[in-house]
A and B are shown apart, each in its own frame.
Chain A
């Protein structure tokens, strides 16, 4: 019942957004709203704000006029799939690394005092801005048949953004069992490992689920942005830039990959929500599900 209401509200939100778009386009002046020389609200011309129907129509047409060009929407879907795959890899790597770091910090006090400041500081280094460097470092990596690929640089940057919330969330979760539960484990005479496995890990789930959600958002944003700064083609990030360049002649086209990026975000959020449902038995005493 609650889930149905959520879905209905979601749909209502999308419809409202569409109504706002078309309503603003119909009512606001074509040159937008200016205060002095500053435009505070966008222009409503067809070049700046195409009709929703135009965008949809454009998505069904081929990508280019060249013969055999596939419909735009399939190209966007393919690019979205490419991006979501990289984001998924980044998420998995980030979650594993974050979980391991948190485990290390939970196991050894010294590791916590040594690592935690670096974990926090890590997020002040904008690795995305260093994308060309990452690409260069990557190109130096060879062993055996293994060669560093550009998509790996993208995944590295995205997982760098994803691991942070997981390490912090898991660390808090591992520390969350009540003293009485820890006493109980001690009374059972079990050591760190079994206490970790049977008590700390399950108890961390309520802290972990929001962290996994954040990690997914970070992985998606990281992937899309890193695609652009690394210059990796094939994903929606790159496609947004490419199509924007043809914006003046074909204004509706550039909206398709933007919707693709939104789709990637929704898929990621949906996947984590499913994971949260699968873990529901560990979340029984969460107030809000």
Chain B
């Protein structure tokens, strides 16, 4: 295996995905998508809804398989990476099991993979502290706010210390205040764990604030329009002060322009919307 591919967390090469449609043909959700994500890198996927962000993430997670092209995760096939538990995953809906307490939810992946009771307990306590849910370990999900539930989901995704985190709009259902706080915490967690992150969002400031690079996508079929470097410094620089920074605003505008600015792609997007 070559040196460079060993450093890659995710490599997506010429990937296409066609969903079978009811009336013959099919829905082309992704077309010729190529992107490489380095180990420890934070990459956001942004684009209007329906542009295939979730689909791309599901392909990386091997929850679905591509119609064409190849995906490798840490130099292995996506399937092998899933089997080896190389990634942790979190969705927009926290997806906690309602009959399990916070602690038991966080322990779920460990329990499923045969980790002993004591080790499980220790790890869960650690994660509960890490995501700031100190007193809530024995609560059930229905006793928690949306933000707290999402923290539990993130703690669960970190349970097995994966080197790759896949997050599909994890803060999408949260109010703006909670959302910003969660972003700050995610930046901190990421700095502490050093994991690579693939982060799906449709919030421009969120993408800019968190990412090393932002992948801008266009809909129908889902394509990569542009990949923008954020150059906002390392994970330790993602503080609240960054949100007031001129460079931050400059990058927000850059992403916005990539999303809407280019007249040709804007026309394409409108055409797709009215169809």
Residue ranges of A at the interface with B (Cβ–Cβ < 8 Å): 178, 180-181, 183-190, 194, 198-199, 202, 205, 281-282, 284-285
Question: With a CB–CB cut-off of 8 A, which chain B residues contact A282?
Answer: 99
Question: With a CB–CB cut-off of 8 A, which chain B residues contact A181?
Answer: 95, 97
Closest-by-CB residue of A relative to B96 is A181
Task: Return the contact of A284 from the options B58, B95, B140 (Cβ within 8 A).
Answer: B140
* B98 close to A285 (CB less than 8 A): yes
Question: With a CB–CB cut-off of 8 A, which chain A residues contact B89?
Answer: 184, 187
Task: Return the contact of B112 from the options A188, A202, A281 (Cβ within 8 A).
Answer: A188
Q: CB-CB contacts of B85-122 with A at 8 A, as 1s and 0s? A: 10101010101011100000000110111000000000
Chain B residues with a Cβ closer than 8 Å to the other chain, count: 22
Docked CA distance A16–B137 (Å)? 48
Docked CA distance A180–B54 (Å)? 12
Docked CA distance A283–B142 (Å)? 11
Given A181-B95, A202-B97: A187 in contact with B61 (beta carbons within 8 A)? yes
Cβ-Cβ contact count across A and B, 8 Å cutoff? 47
Docked CA distance A284–B142 (Å)? 8
Question: With a CB–CB cut-off of 8 A, which chain B residues contact A178?
Answer: 93, 95
* B91 close to A189 (CB less than 8 A): no
In the complex, given contacts A188-B108, A284-B142, what are 11 additional A-B residue pairs having Cβ atoms less than 8 angstroms apart? Answer: A180-B95, A181-B97, A183-B63, A186-B63, A186-B82, A187-B87, A188-B109, A189-B83, A194-B112, A202-B99, A205-B99
Given A198-B108, A198-B112, A284-B142: A188 in contact with B95 (beta carbons within 8 A)? no
Docked CA distance A184–B93 (Å)? 12
Docked CA distance A29–B140 (Å)? 61
Query: Closest approach, in angstroms, between the C-beta of A38 and any C-beta of chain B?
Result: 56
21 CB contacts below 8 A, A to B, read: A178-B95, A180-B93, A181-B97, A183-B58, A183-B91, A184-B89, A186-B82, A187-B61, A187-B82, A188-B85, A188-B113, A190-B112, A194-B112, A198-B108, A198-B111, A198-B112, A202-B97, A202-B99, A281-B140, A284-B140, A285-B98
Question: With a CB–CB cut-off of 8 A, which chain B residues contact A185?
Answer: 112
Docked CA distance A231–B93 (Å)? 58
Q: CB-CB contacts of B65-83 with A at 8 A, as 1s and 0s? A: 0000000000000000011
Q: CB-CB contacts of B204-220 with A at 8 A, as 1s and 0s? A: 00000000000000000
Closest-by-CB residue of B relative to A202 is B99
Given A184-B89, A189-B82, A198-B108: A284 in contact with B99 (beta carbons within 8 A)? yes
* A285 close to B97 (CB less than 8 A): no
Query: Closest approach, in angstroms, between the C-beta of B249 and any C-beta of chain A?
Result: 35
* B99 close to A281 (CB less than 8 A): yes
Closest-by-CB residue of A relative to B111 is A198
Question: With a CB–CB cut-off of 8 A, which chain B residues contact A184?
Answer: 89, 95
Docked CA distance A190–B93 (Å)? 21
Query: Closest approach, in angstroms, between the C-beta of A71 and any C-beta of chain B?
Result: 48
Query: Closest approach, in angstroms, between the C-beta of B207 and any C-beta of chain A?
Result: 23
Docked CA distance A284–B105 (Å)? 15
* A189 close to B95 (CB less than 8 A): no
